[in-house]
Structure formats: structure tokens, C-alpha cells
Copies of this chain bind each other. A is one copy, B any other.
Amino acid sequence: MVGERLGGLDTAFLQIENENAHMHIGVVLTFAGEAPRYDDLIEVFERRLHLVPRYRQRLLAPPLPLDRPRWVDDPHFNLRFHVRHTGLPAPGSEEQLKELAARILGQRLDRERPLWEFWLVEGLEGNRFAVIAKTHHAVVDGVSGVDVVTLLLDATPEPSPTPPPPPWLPRPLPSRAELLVESLAGPLRTPLELAKVAQRSLAHPEEVVSDLRRGIGGALEFARAAFLRGGPRTPYNGKIGPHRRFDWVRFSLADLRAIKARLGGTVNDVVLACVAGALHHHLLVRGERVEGVELKTLVPVSVRADVERGALGNRVSLMIATLPVWCADPATRFAIVRDQMAALKESGQAVGAKVLTELGDFAPPTILAQASRLFATQRVFNLVVTNVPGPQFPLYMLGRRLIDPFPVVPLAPDQTLGVALMSYDGRINFGLIGDYDRMWDLRTLARCVRRSMAELAEAAGIELEEPSPYPRPEWLAEGGEGAEAKTGSEGRGAARGTSDGIG
């Protein structure tokens, strides 16, 4: 085989991308202690990189327009190009780290190289350092993204000794003739039924797209019919530029669990209700109308089974929820979200979407381009809120403890705001990304998130405690926040989350 064909949904992510909407995901990580030496970091990469071959591969455009790009070894691979070393100016505040992250996230990855960057950032105040990792969505989705960062992370302060890696010899780039033969032979290896679809699509692509819309896309059509109420246009959709702002908010996972236990529902319901309330407050701060505002929100759910973790690529299921941004009452807001999510799960909408993404692996790119443009241009959804589960125990990189992960989703061409969450070791963190101009007040939006969560906590009779950004002393490390049961505010400190609301 001449290189591995790109998966269907992965191809879609390449096709949505333009010079302003960059389809990379990312994560900002803060660590306790002195930054490791750059050369030591390089050495760890050299020992472990063979475990994710995709990270030494680049895309090769297909010789035929209906075929997909494929992954080939990059003969010019240079680890020091991808792993970068930088520092913050004094005083090394989190605001300065956010600015650096926003700048890095505002730059599109070069398609002529393996599609990732890893930045080691020195000089974060409070005896910390940071990492900013950036990977194209075509390489990994949010869940396998954790797997890749995990490549450098250990479950113990002492990294387990790694055997020396096997020698890496890049396979030479295939010739054009080889590619052409491969491209022509390709569809014959897919299951018979799908091969027929593919062959028909070569003759009548528009017909197949229509089939796809009617049949497999049915669940999506249902979602549109059910929720497309034509509410007022909000600042969260519009033309974006290439530049970004980035911000974050930390919560204790125990707090969110206590809220969902009191109010009845899931942690994800708490998250979505919190976002609905945050946007409610944000619109009011901006002096915009909230009456009737509902946001169709894409909630990607990973359908990757654990056994699949070795093979990268996208296996996501999509659900479209409607956030009641109009709603002023936190308890009502939560109830609406919870009941809706329960109904969606019963309706099988998620299953329909799952079928769509799995079929994507077999459909030629012209069909996928149509399907993905359905999302991108017809604005089936206004916002993405994704929640990536992480491990509930501490991780270490070269012996330094990971304090906080802050995840990043890409912005679609018509979206000015993206919301990602990641849970880890007893905390659950929001990563907020916004267009530089349209979301000029992203910092205010972060305060609205705190305020909204505090309202939910109040409705549940809980007091929020914002996790510390600093390393915990050793005597606190055993049985940390994540392990504690929390059912009320007894014995807790001041409700910092509340006092940090909009003043």
C-alpha cells in the first residue's frame, strides 16, 4: 500500500479549513516546578514518538480528485521544528500565557509537514511552566488528543524506563505512478455495497449526496426541524479572522457532581446549563437582547471504544442540543437542558449521526465535502461545546506534576466562540476560544461562566470552590479534591467563584 488513506471525517476537517478557520485542536497545560531542559524533552520525544507514527507523517494530495489524501512518512522530518522552546515576559502571569497561546492558536499548521506543534513555555509565575500543544483535527479528535499528550505523561513522578526506540527509516515518498495505480484500485477493497456507492458517485456525485441527505442524514434533518426556530442572530456567529483570544476557568469536579446530584441529571447537563447561563449574562453585559435566543449547539461525543485507542483518527458521534440562552432562572435553565438531553438520547439522534461519521470512512471526498459543508455553511449549529474526560489521578511529565489542562476546539468559519472542557485529577476546566475581533471581551465571558456556575451551585445549595492554580503541597496530594465526596458547603472556604462574578 502506498501510504494510508485519510479517514472520511478527517478529510472533511481538511475541506472545512480555510485561511481564517483553522482546524487544529489544542491544549494548554501547566506544570509544577522548574521547566525541563529542552534537550531532555527532545530525548523523551525521540524515545516515544514511534508509538504514534502519524506524528512523523505528512499528507500527500491524491492524484485523482475523487480519491482522498494519504499519510506518508515525511522524509525531511525534523523533531526540533515541531517541538519549540519559548518563554513568557515578566511577571509570567496566566494572562500572558493566554496571550501566547492565543497567538500560537491563531496560526494555521503547514500542510507540507506533520500536522502538530508542541511548545515548551518557561517563566510562568508561581514556580510553574507550561506546554502548548497543537494538532490538526485530521490527526486526532479530542479523545485521542489526550492519548497523544499522554505520550509524554507518566502516572508516576519517576518516569518508567523506556527501551530505546526502533530505528526510524522513512519510507520514500510514492511516485505519481504508484499513487495513480493505488488510487484506481482503492474502492475495490471496500465492502461490496460501499464500493458500488463509490463507483456510482464517480458518475453521479450529486445523486449520492442527495441519497446521503435523505437517508443517513435523516437524524440531522430531524434535529433541524425540531430546533430551527429562527431566533435572533447573536454575536456568536459571523465572519471571523485568523486571530484568536483564549481564556479559561477552573472548577472542582466534586462541585459539579454535587450540583448534578442535587438537581438530578448529568455532569454534562451542568456544563451545558452553565454555558447557556454564561451567554445569557454575556449578552446582557453587551447590551444585547436575550429574548428568544436559543443556540443550536453541537455536542460531540466520542464513540471510540477503548480497544481502538491505538489507532488515531476521528470516531465521534454528534448530538445537537438547544441552549436556552433566553432563560433567566438557573434552575429552570438546568431543567430544560436536562430534559432535552434525555429526550435526545432516547430519539436515537446520536446513533444516526454516528452512522454518518462511520460511513464517512468509505465515501469519496466530494460527498464528504458536501456533508461537511452542510454543517459549515447552512449553520445547522451555532456553537460547539465539547467535554473531554481525562484521568482522575495526577500525571507527570519528566517528573513534573501536571496541574491544569485547558483544552481548545477549532472555530468553524461562521463561529466566533468555541467551548471545550477537560476533566483531570478532581477538576474540570473550561477552555474558551474566540475570534480576536468579534470576541474582544472574552475575558468578560470567562467571568460570566464563573457567575453562571455559581448560580447553579446556589440553586443546588452548594458553595463553589475554585481549584488553586498552584502546585498542591505534598500532604494535600494524597486523597485530593477529586476523591472527596461533596454534598454541601459544610467546612468549605469562602465561595471565591461567587465573589468573582460580574461586579
Q: Pick the contact of A110 from B112, B120, B242 — CB < 8 Å?
A: B242
- Name which of A81-89, A206-214, A268-276, A442-450 contacts chain B: A81-89
Q: In the complex, which residues 80-128 of chain A have their Cβ closer than 8 Å to any Cβ of chain B?
A: 81, 84-90, 92, 96, 99-100, 103, 107, 110, 112, 120-123
Q: Of all chain B residues, which has the CB nearest A38? A: B89
Interface string of A15-43 (1 = CB under 8 A from B): 00000000000000000000100100000
- The oligomer's copy count stands at 2
A89: chain B residues within 8 A (beta carbon)? 35, 38, 85-87, 120-123
The answer to the question of A176 belonging to the interface, with a C-beta cut-off of 8 Å to chain B, is: no
At the interface, yes or no: A13 with Cβ under 8 Å from chain B? no
List the B side residues contacting A92 at CB < 8 Å.
87
**Contact yes or no, B81 A436, CB < 8 A:** yes
Q: In the complex, A219→B139 CA distance in Å?
A: 53
For the complex, give the distance between the alpha carbons of A65 and B501 in Å.
Answer: 52
Residues of B within 8 Å of A85, CB to CB, are 89, 96, 99
| A48 interfacial by beta-carbon distance below 8 Å | no
* Complex CA distance for A120 and B92, rounded to whole angstroms: 14
Q: Is the CB of B243 within 8 A of A81?
A: yes
Q: How far is the CB of A42 from chain B (nearest CB, A)?
A: 13
Report if A286 contacts B (CB, 8 A): no
Least CB distance, A170 to chain B, in whole angstroms: 15
Question: Which residue of chain B has its CB nearest to the CB of A100?
Answer: B86
Report A59 CB to chain B, min CB distance, Å.
14
A437 at interface (Cβ–Cβ under 8 A)? yes
Which residues of B are found within 8 Å of A86, using beta-carbon distances?
86-89, 100
Bound CA–CA A99/B35 (angstroms): 19
Q: Does A399 contact B (CB under 8 A)?
A: no
| A73 vs chain B, min Cβ distance (A) | 16
A76 within 8 A of B: yes
Q: In whole angstroms, how far apart are the Cα atoms of A99 and B119 in the complex?
A: 13
Q: Chain B residue with minimal CB distance to A85?
A: B89
Are B123 and A87 touching (Cβ within 8 A)? yes
Interface size on A, residues (CB 8 A): 28
A38 neighbours in B (Cβ, 8 Å):
89
Determine how close the nearest CB of chain B comes to the CB of A312; give it in whole angstroms: 25
A233–B499 CA distance with the chains assembled, in angstroms? 69
Task: Judge whether A265 is part of the interface by a CB distance below 8 angstroms.
Answer: no
| A34 to chain B: closest residue by CB | B90
Whether A76 pairs with B112 at a CB distance below 8 angstroms is no
Q: Is A217 an interface residue (CB 8 A)?
A: no
Residues of B within 8 A of A205 (CB): none
**A241 lies within 8 A of chain B by Cβ:** yes
Q: Bound state CA distance, A81 and B436, in angstroms?
A: 9
- Report A103-161 residues with CB < 8 Å from chain B CB: 103, 107, 110, 112, 120-123
A1 CB → nearest B CB, Å: 27
Find out whether the CB atom of A437 lies under 8 angstroms from the CB atom of B96.
no
Residue of B nearest to A90 (CB): B122
The reply to whether A243 and B110 form a contact with Cβ atoms under 8 Å apart is yes
Query: How far apart are A381's CB and chain B's nearest CB, in angstroms?
Result: 26
- List of B residues within 8 angstroms of A81 by Cβ: 243, 436
For A120, what are the chain B residues with a Cβ–Cβ distance below 8 Å? 89
A90 to B89 CA separation, bound complex (whole angstroms): 12
**Cross-chain contact A437 with B87 (CB below 8 angstroms):** no
List of B residues within 8 angstroms of A437 by Cβ? 76
Minimum CB–CB distance for A113 against chain B, Å: 8
Interface string of A213-251 (1 = CB under 8 A from B): 000000000000000000000000000011100000000
Contacts of A112 in B (CB 8 A): 241
**In the bound complex, what is the Cα–Cα distance between A90 and B87 (angstroms)?**
8
Nearest B residue to A241 by beta-carbon distance?
B112
What B residues does A100 contact at CB under 8 A? 86
- In this complex, what residue of B is CB-closest to A84? B103
**A37: nearest residue on chain B (CB-CB)?**
B90
Task: Choose among A87, A92, A99, A120 the residue with the greatest number of B CB atoms under 10 Å from its CB.
Answer: A87
Max chain B CB contacts within 10 Å: which of A76, A84, A89, A99?
A89
Residues 424-480 of A at the B interface (beta carbon under 8 Å): 436-437
A436's nearest neighbour on chain B, judged by CB, is B81
Give every chain B residue within 8 A of A35 (Cβ-Cβ): 89-90
Q: Jot down 5 A-B pairs with beta carbons below 8 A, ordered by A.
A: A76-B437, A81-B243, A85-B99, A107-B107, A112-B241
Q: A76-B437, A87-B92 are in contact. List 10 more A-B contacts (CB 8 A).
A: A35-B89, A84-B103, A86-B100, A87-B87, A87-B90, A87-B122, A89-B121, A89-B123, A90-B122, A110-B242
In order of increasing CB-CB distance, the 9 nearest A-B pairs are A87-B87, A87-B89, A89-B122, A85-B89, A87-B88, A87-B123, A86-B89, A112-B241, A76-B437
